[in-house]
Amino acid sequence: MEENKEPYRKLIITLSIILPLAVAVLFRVKIPGYDFSFLPPIYATINGLTAVLLISAVVAIKNKKRKLHELLMKTCIGLSAAFLVMYVIYHMTSDSTRYGGEGALRLVYLFILISHIMLSVIVVPFVLFTFSRALSSNFERHKALAKFTFPIWLYVAITGVIVYLMISPYYM
């Protein structure tokens, strides 16, 4: 009966493997002739908005506003999907921007960037399993996993903004 506890288990695992692999492959694809240089501030804003909405969703559920919580979380998932699409489009049509800072600040940037990238991959199955448990009305297991999912997702959203702010002076 484990399948009933996680009805979307196989789909979530498949998506959690395919998404990062697809992003890695698409990063190697370059499509010249398009200018999507306007996207980084947009997807950084999406990250910031996601962070605000994640916090708002936690406040909503703590105040027993389940419908608002549900709406905010679905919005966060939609924003994250939009971010991913824009991020891939930008990197398929533009050269990567290198951070130009030096010394300790460069090390801070690299730490934030690497932890952001690693956790952005890890958070995908966490978000999908947490969401799946809510869809299945398995609220106890949803809540238990959300305690791990929330801080990781929030960190990824906030560090996405920080990475953008640190690298934005070096965009051409």
Residue 166 has pLDDT above 60, yes or no: yes
State how far the Cα of 30 lies from the Cα of 38, in Å rounded to an integer.
17
Q: What is the CATH number of the domain that holds 58?
A: 1.20.120.80
Task: Say what the pLDDT of residue 1 is.
Answer: 40
- Better-predicted residue by pLDDT, 74 or 2: 74
Residue 148 lies in a domain: yes
Domain tally for the chain? Answer: 1
Average pLDDT, the chain: 94
Flag whether 137 is in a domain.
Answer: yes
Give per-residue pLDDT as tens, 122-164: 999 999 999 999 999 999 999 999 999 999 999 999 999 999 9
In a domain, 87, yes or no: yes
- Which DSSP string do the residues of 25-63 spell out, in sequence order? HHHH---TT---TTHHHHHHHHHHHHHHHHHHHHHHHHT
> Is residue 7 over pLDDT 90?
no
40, 46 Cβ separation under 8 angstroms = no
pLDDT (0 to 100) of residue 4: 62
Average the pLDDT over 36-55 and give the result. 97
Residue 1 lies in a domain: no
In a domain, 14, yes or no: no
Average pLDDT of the segment spanning 91-109: 93
Q: Does residue 9 form part of some domain?
A: no
Q: Which residues span the domain enclosing 129?
A: 37-170
- Name all contacts of 93-102 with Cβ < 8 Å and 24+ positions apart: 93/30, 93/31, 93/32, 93/34, 93/35, 93/36, 94/36, 94/37, 97/167, 97/170, 97/171, 97/172, 98/170, 99/166, 99/167, 99/170, 100/169, 100/170, 101/166
Q: Is position 23 within any domain?
A: no
Answer whether residue 25 is part of any domain: no
